Amino acid sequence: MTRKNEIKIIEPKPYEKVGAAFVVSGWIPKKWLHQGTYTGLGFCLVDADCIEFSCGNLHVERKLFDAFRTRVWFTSPFQLNTFNAPFIAKGGGRIVIALDGKEKNQKFYLPIIVKGFENFEESEKAVNIQKTIGTRLEKIKSDLEDYYQELRKIGESRRQKDATFKEEDGRNNYADVSVGYEMLKLLDDNENESFENYLYSEEDKKEKELNEKYKDALDWRGPLLHGLIAKFDAFELRIHSNDHGKHFHVMHRGKGINARFSFPEIALISYVTGTTIGAKTTRKIQEFCRKPDIFFKLEKEFAKRS
């Protein structure tokens, strides 16, 4: 028996086969909806890998006697398209409609089977994968919340060290870019030279361990979540979670290099650490960053942050 504070779906039934166009309807608790309006019931279509490939809001119309009810009626049409097909095909047509209320615990997962994909694997494993989509998705999102919380602590530690270093040293912690050319050339030519740990080596180590701990959740969201944009040779292009303004970091952990570059100019701004890079290496970095695919990744990430 369905409680009054729970959602009740009338159609489609769990594991019912549907076509490209279908209707979802049922009763939704008013507590799930935003205060003062019967709109804002969120939904996402989720594939076998827990990827949310189509999301939006379902409209719930206001009725005359809804004020006297604990649940209200909703009905919403769905139309699948060719862009959805690769996600649906993963599980042989087995996907889940995830419905979300305004509170964190207000979730409902409706498993359905899309017609036309049944010729894909229809094994007991595929059935079990579909059954666990909801629980796996919730774990991934919970892990990401924990990841962000720990990452903020690491970012705060970096900021505190940065402030302390400036205060104790009596100068800006950016390296003097007027270092002699011969010294910079030596850095460019000697790839195997070892350097001491730099100011944020402890934080980098913690961030690396954190990324490994939550690897599955980070892989689910993609590489941009890590702040890692790309790698080339032994360098990494990163945008830190606590960064302000349009700049990114070029890092070489073996040499202790952490340089700031502007975007979209791709110009060397300053150094977080005392180890500098030479003109030859700077040009290589600029050429790499201006490649269309790399430049697009940087542009996309900054657009998300603006």
Kindly report, residue by residue over 167-185, the tens digit of the pLDDT.
555 444 433 333 333 333 4
For 225, the token pair is: 């979540």
Q: Compute the average pLDDT of residues 96-120.
A: 87
Q: How high is the pLDDT of residue 186?
A: 42
Query: Tell me, what's the pLDDT at 167?
Result: 57
* Alpha-carbon 109 to chain mean position: 22
283, pLDDT greater than 90: yes
Cα 92 to its chain centre, rounded Å, is 26
Look at 111 and 159; give whichever has higher pLDDT.
Answer: 111
Q: What is the pLDDT of residue 43?
A: 87
- pLDDT band, very low/low/confident/very high, at 119 (cuts 50, 70, 90): low
Distance between CA atoms of 39 and 33, rounded to whole angstroms? 6
Question: Region 177-195: what's the mean pLDDT?
Answer: 39
Res. 10 pLDDT band, cuts 50 70 90: very high
Whether the pLDDT of residue 3 is over 50: the answer is: yes
pLDDT, residue 176, reads: 36
What pLDDT score does 266 carry? Answer: 95
CA dist 129 and 289 (Å) reads: 40
What per-residue confidence (pLDDT) applies to 194? Answer: 39
- In this prediction the pTM is 0.62
Closest to 227 (Cα-Cα) out of 155, 163, 157: 155
| pLDDT at site 279 | 92
As given in the structure block, the two tokens for residue 92 are 């042989």
CATH 2.60.40.10 positions along the chain are 8-123
Stronger pLDDT, 139 or 201, i.e. the higher one: 139
- Does the pLDDT of residue 292 top 70, yes or no? yes
Of the given ranges (7-11, 148-152, 230-234), which has the lowest mean pLDDT? 230-234
Which CATH number applies to 8-123?
A: 2.60.40.10
Structure-token pair, residue 65: 């006697």
pLDDT of residue 11: 95
* Cα–Cα distance, 60 to 50 (Å, whole number): 26
Higher-confidence residue of 42 and 267: namely 267
* Minimum mean pLDDT range among 14-28, 80-94, 132-146, 229-243: 229-243
Contact (CB, 8 A) for 195 and 256: yes
Predicted local distance difference test score (pLDDT) of residue 142: 93
The C-alpha angle with vertex 128 and arms to 123 and 134, in degrees rounded to 5, equals 140
Q: Is a pLDDT exceeding 90 seen at residue 64? A: no
37 vs 23, 31, 42, CA distance in Å?
Answer: 22, 11, 14
